[in-house]
């Protein structure tokens, strides 16, 4: 059974960069797409972006200028870097496996989430 686990800082200062890691167990990165999704406190879900195991990426246009998603196949991990943080970036950040189905996709495995607060 595949499992995903987010790790990183719980508190980051405004204007700094957030770096999160998603560690995958029970399967490998290969042949799959991997996503980051976030949820501000008391609000809904926002898709951030995804990366294919080859390294190709697609980002949410609203965040594109501040995001980098990368991966390390040797460690079975993928990463999120989000720059120029503001309080609006405070959220629970989830990593998830993006499952392609025909011309669509959904998210079939999720990490438990990591709460990130942006505050000085």
Partner 1 sequence: EIVLTQSPATLSLSPGERATLSCRASQSVSSYLAWYQQKPGQAPRLLIYDASKRATGISPRFSGSGSGTDFTLTVSSLEPEDIAVYYCQQRGIFGPGTQVEIK
Query: Minimum Å distance from CB 50 to partner 1?
Result: 8
Write out the two tokens for 39: 């949820």
What is the pattern of x (binds partner 1, CB under 8 A) and - over residues 28-67? ----------------xxxx------------x-------
Query: Minimum Å distance from CB 15 to partner 1?
Result: 27
Decide whether 60 or 68 has the Cβ nearer to partner 1: 60
Interacting residues toward partner 1 by CB under 8 A: 44-47, 60, 94, 99, 101-108, 110-113
């Amino acid at each position: 059974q595949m499992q995903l686990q987010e790790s990183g800082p719980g508190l980051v200062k405004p204007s700094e960069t957030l770096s999160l890691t998603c560690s995958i167990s029970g399967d490998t990165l290969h042949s799959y797409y991997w996503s980051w999704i976030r949820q501000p406190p008391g609000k809904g879900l926002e898709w951030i972006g995804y990366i294919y195991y080859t390294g190709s990426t697609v980002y949410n246009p609203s965040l594109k200028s501040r995001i980098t998603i990368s991966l390390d196949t040797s460690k079975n991990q993928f990463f999120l870097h989000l720059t120029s943080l503001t309080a609006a970036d405070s959220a629970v950040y989830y990593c998830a496996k993006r499952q392609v189905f025909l011309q669509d996709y959904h998210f079939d495995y999720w990490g438990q989430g990591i709460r990130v607060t942006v505050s000085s």
